[in-house]
Structure 1
Amino acid sequence: MKKMLLGVFLTFACIATNAVQANTPQLEVPPVLLTDLAVPITISEPGSQQLSLFIDGELVFEGFPSDGQTLVEIEQQKYGSSTIELRDSTAVLQQVEVPVIPAWASLLPPVIAITLAFLLRAVIPALFAGIIAGAWAVNGLTLQGGVKALFDSMAVYMLDALSDPGHAAIIIFTMTIGGMVGVVSRNGGMLGIVNRALTIAKTPRKGQAVIAFLGLTIFFDDYSNTLIVGNATRPMSDHLKISREKLAYLVDSTAAPVASIAIITTWVGFQVGLINESIAGIEGITQPAYTLFLHSIPYSFYPFLALLLVFTVVASKRDFGAMLKAERRARETGQVSRPHGKSTASREIDEMSEKEGVTCRAINGVVPIVTLVVTVIVGLYIDGEGDSLQDIVGSADSYRVLIWASFLSSLVAVILTLSQGLLSLEETVDAWVVGAKFMITGLIVLLMAWAIADVSNNLQTANFLISILGDGLSPYFLPTAVFLLAAVTGFATGSSWAVMGILMPLVIPLCWAVMQANGIADADHMHILYSCLACVLTGAVWSDHCSPISDTTVLSSLATGCNHMDHVTTQLPYASLSGVIALVVCTLPVGYGMPWWLMLGAGGALLVTTYWFVSKPVEVV
């Protein structure tokens, strides 16, 4: 009886303690402070009591704060550490010691990762070095912090990247679709598709055209586009002696651009949600968020020019730079990958070849792939909510739908295989596992890219880049500045969605404030706001095509079986060509009032002309 009473007492004591803790005011302080960069300190659940905030012993706030209120924006001048204390009238409620590092140190993770990726031509050790450098910076750039960073790189950042539900969904979807591809490759279905495609695509140019048009067809999601088109066309591409570098370029340069400018995609809900949140407190902007998004599409010059360049490359049978060398190597020697530069998943590719003696039927490959595509489309409609199709697709949980689709397509592939006796149950399971294994190396890179984005967020890399721009920008130059900022931020963080999530809530209020300050916040100058909206997106997409730590670039290398750094180095000149023309010929003049349609036409003409002069025929007669 005494033990029971003691147990009840301890239970109530724990509940009471937790209740007290739950009601205790909590400061929200970043894990590290940057010198000369203002950082807000907010408070949650302050209650009704008077509170005081001290920084290094100096009183900086005193009063009755509300929940979520920013108490102060701290801006430290000296490198070292700061002690932050929250007090009530009787005691210290919370004390936090935060490292203070030079602002430039926030660039360490992306700079180290990107530099080593190019120097070593190996992205995994480069990313890992970037994560460790970032963790070291978060821990104050001290010797003790360096030791802790070694453990934090795995136990904190890699673990957090893996445990994120959205990231986990992408991993499951990617491995499951890899398993499906393994089955349809082993049962002869993929070779059947290739044989059918070869009746249309009998030359490298026609094969590239098929790949590019497939990239436009799957417009609703960039991840689905990359994985479906890359995996489905790889055997055909190899047969036609198209280099893996060119295949990866065609897949990557159609996926994000088409998904970013289509009006019903998995991107739309995210973008419109950010826009809606950003305009909520702005008087003078009366248009709904989706209307603003639609108005911004014509100003998305880079995606349009990137797609134009893809079809120019295909039609011209010309290339330049490293891509030209890769294409000539593939045509002349049949080596679709650079010697000693094959994808680390090459062994799995060999294991996924069709079983000897199996009947190769295209339907066994087409049906699972069509199942995947249709399930994604139908799933987005079923899972979403709203009055319009745009609202329904935009509100759907795309990650969940992708898991549904990949699972169902795998199930269909297995049923088709077993029902026709093409493989035994054991062989089918082995084929699925081999297909999933094919994705492992790329997923490790993807996981590290997420981790480095997380550590960059802790270091406030984006905020530091924004602060570099400074004040006093001309409103007419603002779209150009936004594009550059989004591009640099995306190149540094490796995620276009992270760029949009970070910059959109900052750019829209900034743009409107600059327009108001210059007396042009009116209907005649709304093109500046539309262009700024578009430039957040297009700068992010451009960086996606250039950064070796970009998640979609990694997925493109993964799906096409291309060495990752070979893909990056061959695609970079093409993306840079489109990006420079989009910025200089289109975005900059439009900011100063030139019609968007005129500058888009001029940019397209210059792009095609420039490409013709810098490129050379792949096949030399």
Structure 2
Amino acid sequence: MSRNAYTWILLLFGCIGALLAHQYQSPQWKEQSYLYETFETVDGKLKYRHQGEEILIEELVDYADSPLRQSALDQLEGDPELNRQWVKMPDNEIVLLKTDYHYGVWSLLPAFITVALCLICREPIIALLGGIVCGAFLMGQPDIIDKVLIPSLGTESAAAILVLYLWLLGGLTGIWGKTGAAQAFAQSMTKHFVRGPRSAKVVTWMLGILFFQGGTISTVLVGTTVRPIADKAGVSHEELSYVVDSTASPIAVFLAFNAWPAYVQAFIFVPGVAFLATEADRIAFFFSSVPLSFYAILAVFGTFLLSMNILTFSGSRLKKANQRAAQTGQLNAPQARPMSSGEIHRAHVPDHYRPNQWEFILPLITLLGIAVGSFVLLGTPKVNWAFGAALILAATIALVKGMSLEDLLDGFGDGWKSVVVASVVLMLAITIGGISKEVGGGLYLIDLLGERLPFWLLPVTLQLITMIIAFSTGTSWGTYAIAFPLAMPLAWVIAMDQQLANPELFMMVCFATVLNGSVYGDQCSPISDSTILSSMTTGCDLMDHVKSQLYPATLAASLAAGLWTVIAVFSL
């Protein structure tokens, strides 16, 4: 049978399964606890801080009286009357209880259908839409457009994708293409630093280390900057996209001077554990666990080896891509369908205009300065400000140098056209990620563990579970919100029950496995924004990128699993 036949058969069975599951599978409700910074005002009111805002806590109840505690949910018939409630724990800690649910193994169906369709038909839009349809049916929402797609695409996250990656990124790279700035920079780099594919990949690796904020900002900056350089040097797009992706989130894990510690600490509170009692304690715990982030360390080191043309550990796909580019000059595989069109990477400079590399360097410095500076001053990198300022500066320089407004707008149009498809894919990926979380895919996987594991098996089990969750949902940060509130108490219970001599070390190992397992799954997922952006900015076929990086990433994850198991044994 053809790919199309397999695609339609899989989609049909997925939809039928989702409808049957919604009809006959009752949701299983689970307690979720979240810790925020709470304080009492001078007039005696209780408030908490969230994203810089102070919000009033109107009602507080004892945990034993809450209908959202797990023992009450286990006896529940139907849906709970509340979905969130502030409670005082037995140790007087104040936490926010929420309810989530899963449909058992059926909760994995939307993500499974999406990934399977990606592998079969190699069309991410079709795959994502298929997963969204199955997820909507599983939730009992046949009105997919009005009840699922429009609410998801009307969220702040989707709007940010549209503004940042379509308008700002597309516009900036379009101007660089129109002015020839990116090509001028590439020629200068080639003349002074790049002598061939190896030095081009090393420059890419070094920029990935430099832009250590992680995630989408790193992939966009590095991919956009190095693409002209690497193309001129003859680097295959599979190798380039792998280097860009594998130095994005992994480097942010152990150069964690970014938003990650502040975000993660809210999910790792465990009642009665002294070294996780306060926010400062939890952030210190994060940094103490950094040396145990074996996957991140091995991923970055392995990427350096590939950049040096040491391909022993890179897998057959990256080796073949390297050979193809060296022997034939073809940077993509023959059947590849790159994520971005060629307009963004080809110069269309007007005859009278003289390109200069500083037209690329100055906006890039502005972009980095605002992103890093806003993080230092405000605690959050203002990426939109950074890209907006860089865009305005690039356009102003072009106009001052004599480019006509018509030519400038042509550049905008070329840049926007080049990222339209990728922006659609990103917005659909947000939708399927939200659906997977709503139907409880991650909760089901964690719930599957129980508390009967031998302690030495728990770290690698948590690693595998978070790898699957992040791969299925396309997000590491979303996986943290799911996994940490369940994994850390589970690790503490096992450490106490099995009387480990060094429970803090064991907790650090389990913490590192969740942190790094989530990064692996996010990095390798075809529905992850960082994966999509790595493919888009480097001009690589999405599934060629996913398949080629699976081997080296999995090898690093396997070695890390062995190291975590050995360290866990020493905590006995």
Instruction: Using structure 1 for the length normalisation, give the TM-score.
Output: 0.75
The one-letter code sitting in structure 1 at the alignment partner of 2:387 is S
Provide Cα deviations, 1:241-266, integer angstroms capped at 9, x if missing partner: 11111111010000111112213113
* 2:233 matched residue in structure 1: 240
The one-letter code sitting in structure 2 at the alignment partner of 1:371 is T
Query: Quick check: 1:41–1:73 contact (8 Å CA) kept in 2?
Result: no
CA distance in 2 between partners of 1:243 and 1:101 (Å): 42
Among candidates 197, 202, 210, match of residue 204 of structure 1? 197
Query: Quick check: 1:477–1:592 contact (8 Å CA) kept in 2?
Result: no
Provide Cα deviations, 1:34-55, integer angstroms capped at 9, x if missing partner: 558454599xxxxxxxxxxxxx
Pairing of 1:125-136 with structure 2 (within 5 A) = 125-136=126-137
Indicate how the Cα distance of structure 1 residues 355 and 74 shifts in structure 2: closer, same or farther if over 3 A, else same. farther
User: Once the 2 structures are TM-superposed, how far is the Cα of residue 485 of structure 1 from its aligned partner?
Assistant: 1.1
Query: Quick check: 2:28–2:103 contact (8 Å CA) kept in 1?
Result: no
CA distance in 2 between partners of 1:210 and 1:487 (Å): 29
Matched, 1:178 2:158: no
Among candidates 295, 310, 313, match of residue 302 of structure 1? 295
Query: Quick check: 2:243–2:307 contact (8 Å CA) kept in 1?
Result: no
The one-letter code sitting in structure 2 at the alignment partner of 1:127 is L
* 1:53 matched residue in structure 2: none
Provide Cα deviations, 1:99-154, integer angstroms capped at 9, x if missing partner: x9962211111111111111111111111111111111111xxxxxxxx53x32x3
CA distance in 1 between partners of 2:80 and 2:544 (Å): 51
Indicate how the Cα distance of structure 1 residues 298 and 116 shifts in structure 2: closer, same or farther if over 3 A, else same. same
Indicate how the Cα distance of structure 1 residues 66 and 517 shifts in structure 2: closer, same or farther if over 3 A, else same. closer
Matched, 1:562 2:555: no
CA distance in 1 between partners of 2:171 and 2:528 (Å): 24
Query: Quick check: 1:39–1:75 contact (8 Å CA) kept in 2?
Result: no
* 2:412 matched residue in structure 1: 432
User: Once the 2 structures are TM-superposed, how far is the Cα of residue 475 of structure 1 from its aligned partner?
Assistant: 2.2
The one-letter code sitting in structure 1 at the alignment partner of 2:469 is T
User: Once the 2 structures are TM-superposed, how far is the Cα of residue 352 of structure 1 from its aligned partner?
Assistant: 5.1
Matched, 1:410 2:422: no
Provide Cα deviations, 1:65-117, integer angstroms capped at 9, x if missing partner: 668667832479xxxxx755979xxxxxxxxxxxx996221111111111111
Among candidates 309, 321, 328, match of residue 326 of structure 1? 321
Matched, 1:378 2:373: yes
Pairing of 1:51-450 with structure 2 (within 5 A) = 72-74=72-74, 103-139=104-140, 148-149=141-142, 151-152=143-144, 154-175=145-166, 176-199=168-191, 200-275=193-268, 278-279=269-270, 282=273, 285-286=276-277, 288-318=281-311, 320-349=315-344, 353-356=348-351, 358-382=353-377, 384=378, 393=379, 396=380, 398=381, 401-421=382-402, 423-450=403-430
CA distance in 1 between partners of 2:79 and 2:267 (Å): 32
CA distance in 2 between partners of 1:66 and 1:304 (Å): 43
Query: Quick check: 1:352–1:431 contact (8 Å CA) kept in 2?
Result: no
CA distance in 1 between partners of 2:180 and 2:107 (Å): 50
The one-letter code sitting in structure 1 at the alignment partner of 2:179 is N
The one-letter code sitting in structure 2 at the alignment partner of 1:265 is N
Residue correspondences, number = 497
Indicate how the Cα distance of structure 1 residues 334 and 35 shifts in structure 2: closer, same or farther if over 3 A, else same. same
Query: Quick check: 1:349–1:438 contact (8 Å CA) kept in 2?
Result: yes
CA distance in 2 between partners of 1:232 and 1:102 (Å): 44
The one-letter code sitting in structure 2 at the alignment partner of 1:111 is F
User: Once the 2 structures are TM-superposed, how far is the Cα of residue 285 of structure 1 from its aligned partner?
Assistant: 4.3
User: Once the 2 structures are TM-superposed, how far is the Cα of residue 314 of structure 1 from its aligned partner?
Assistant: 1.6
The CA RMSD over aligned residues, in Å, is 2.8
Q: SS state of the match for residue 457, structure 1?
A: helix
Provide Cα deviations, 1:403-455, integer angstroms capped at 9, x if missing partner: 1001000001011111111x211211221232133222112111111111111
User: Once the 2 structures are TM-superposed, how far is the Cα of residue 517 of structure 1 from its aligned partner?
Assistant: 1.7
The one-letter code sitting in structure 2 at the alignment partner of 1:510 is L
Indicate how the Cα distance of structure 1 residues 223 and 285 shifts in structure 2: closer, same or farther if over 3 A, else same. closer
Matched, 1:591 2:571: no
CA distance in 1 between partners of 2:446 and 2:80 (Å): 29
* 1:598 matched residue in structure 2: none
Indicate how the Cα distance of structure 1 residues 40 and 228 shifts in structure 2: closer, same or farther if over 3 A, else same. closer
Among candidates 511, 527, 537, match of residue 549 of structure 1? 527
Query: Quick check: 2:179–2:347 contact (8 Å CA) kept in 1?
Result: no
* 2:555 matched residue in structure 1: 577
CA distance in 1 between partners of 2:544 and 2:80 (Å): 51
User: Once the 2 structures are TM-superposed, how far is the Cα of residue 490 of structure 1 from its aligned partner?
Assistant: 0.9
Query: Quick check: 1:351–1:434 contact (8 Å CA) kept in 2?
Result: no
User: Once the 2 structures are TM-superposed, how far is the Cα of residue 322 of structure 1 from its aligned partner?
Assistant: 1.6
Identity of aligned residues (%): 27
Provide Cα deviations, 1:494-526, integer angstroms capped at 9, x if missing partner: 111111111111111111122122233x6x331
* 2:97 matched residue in structure 1: none
Provide Cα deviations, 1:563-593, integer angstroms capped at 9, x if missing partner: 1111111111111111111112x11111111
User: Once the 2 structures are TM-superposed, how far is the Cα of residue 158 of structure 1 from its aligned partner?
Assistant: 2.8
Query: Quick check: 1:545–1:572 contact (8 Å CA) kept in 2?
Result: no
The one-letter code sitting in structure 2 at the alignment partner of 1:367 is L
Query: Quick check: 2:107–2:439 contact (8 Å CA) kept in 1?
Result: yes
CA distance in 2 between partners of 1:257 and 1:451 (Å): 25
**Once structures 1 and 2 are overlaid, which stretch shifts more, 408-417 or 569-578?**
569-578
* 2:432 matched residue in structure 1: 452
User: Once the 2 structures are TM-superposed, how far is the Cα of residue 315 of structure 1 from its aligned partner?
Assistant: 1.5
**Once structures 1 and 2 are overlaid, which stretch shifts more, 369-378 or 350-359?**
350-359
Provide Cα deviations, 1:9-57, integer angstroms capped at 9, x if missing partner: xxxxxxxxxxxxxxxxxxxxxx999558454599xxxxxxxxxxxxxxx
* 2:508 matched residue in structure 1: 530
